[in-house]
Structure 1
């Protein structure tokens, strides 16, 4: 299962957010060597982790197993404020129906070699299940080019916004991806999860049921 943590409801998920920030530091700084993101407290958090951010996260045994961050493109986000030069093919796509999908990672213990893991599948499904009912049908992001073929297999329409560039010793390409209910159906079929992966909104749960549902 995956939970949705909207920034303006962060007070319901303080412990979970702390674990998400620490997982991001482990993956992006300790493993991938993105030294510019290093923090002495071991928490990878930046200027975009605001009330506008939405986190999709999966937990196992009370620990963060994977997470992704969604940012509205009508406001500040990485592609406009940090990496605009990656978008070489015209204006950066923005609008209420477009989100930026970033900080996507899975903890080492929950990866499955080069294959999509159960946690990774839950994150992708969680993003689709969150976005589609809200009229969000496109996303932008900065990705390793090797991810493109995987998203094409899941039914996403992937459009590179420029050529790959080397950032922190690895290739990165800006992309726009379009998705629909058909994409959700295809993804469920490919990863073998036919049901919804999202937990109930904690704000809407009775007080006696507020707990980690991992």
Structure 2
């Protein structure tokens, strides 16, 4: 299992990985979670995919996509500010140049690889560590996100507690909350699972 970062597509392999990522998002968000998301030909996209994000991707030993997240600078257009401002309860996202927004996080926890190695799937911890590693390499210190209270508990169990930006609010049928996560060496060391492996693109700046 390894984690990588992809922004601008440079190779056929990266194009295949991103296509598979959109398929995973459709299976998880529309299929498993029944979210009201836009899917075309079995792939989930939204307008934030058009803003040149960086994708953090976890790949299995057979190079299948088993985890993903999307990162965009918090000083630009964000899901929190555009789609879920109710989670900020009338306040503004405290965005700054060293804050990134993470969205569309998902993991195929049905993958056998890494399933029985601890209370959380290894792919989940690998994703967490990969996000933090990329943030540190690119001078980001905080991660803003909108999530649900179930996933908030997973973050806490992983040793990466989220600082809430407000009380939970119902969005459709999901009890949702916004918060800030630290991106620092202490968090990385606490989160990364045994055998954690990232490929060099995680260390490259998104504008490179």
> What is the TM-score with the length of structure 2 in the denominator?
0.84
Matches within 5 A, 1:1-150: 1-6=2-7, 9-12=8-11, 13-35=14-36, 37-60=37-60, 61-88=62-89, 90-110=91-111, 112=115, 115-150=119-154
Alignment partners' CA distance in 2, 1:96 and 1:122: 25
Q: Is the 8 A contact 2:155 2:162 kept in 1?
A: yes
How far apart are the structure 2 equivalents of 1:147 and 1:40?
A: 26
Which moved further from structure 2: 170-179 or 13-22?
170-179
Name the CA distance, whole Å, in 1 between partners of 2:39 and 2:52: 22
Identify if the C-alpha distance between structure 1 residues 27 and 153 changes in structure 2 by more than 3 Å, giving closer, same or farther: closer
CA shift, 1:38, in A, is: 3.4
The CA RMSD over aligned residues, in Å, is 2.3
**Aligned residue for 1:164?**
168
Among residues 178, 201, 206, which one is paired with 2:182 in the alignment?
178
Kept in 1, the 8 Å contact 2:120–2:158? The answer is: no
- Tell me: CA distance 1:168–1:22, structure 2 relative to 1, closer, same or farther (3 Å): farther
Shift of 1:122: 1.1
**1:99-138: CA deviation from partner (whole Å, max 9, x where unpaired):** 1111111114227499311111111111111001222111
Kept in 2: contact 1:93–1:140 (CA 8 A): no
- Cα contact 1:158–1:175 (8 A) shared by 2: yes
Unaligned 5+ segments in structure 1 are 205-214
Q: Deviations over 1:70-120 (max 9, x none)?
A: 111111120111111111273212111101111111114227499311111
Aligned pair count reads 196
CA distance 1:62–1:180, shift in 2 (3 Å)? closer
Give the deviation of 1:192 after TM superposition: 3.1
TM-score by length of 1: 0.82
Which residue of the partner structure matches residue 194 of structure 2? Answer: 192
Partner SS for 1:186: helix
State the 1:40 CA deviation.
3.4
Take 2:157 and 2:43, find their aligned partners in 1: how far apart are those partners? 33
> 2: CA distance between counterparts of 1:68 and 1:165?
23
Q: Partner residue of 1:212?
A: none
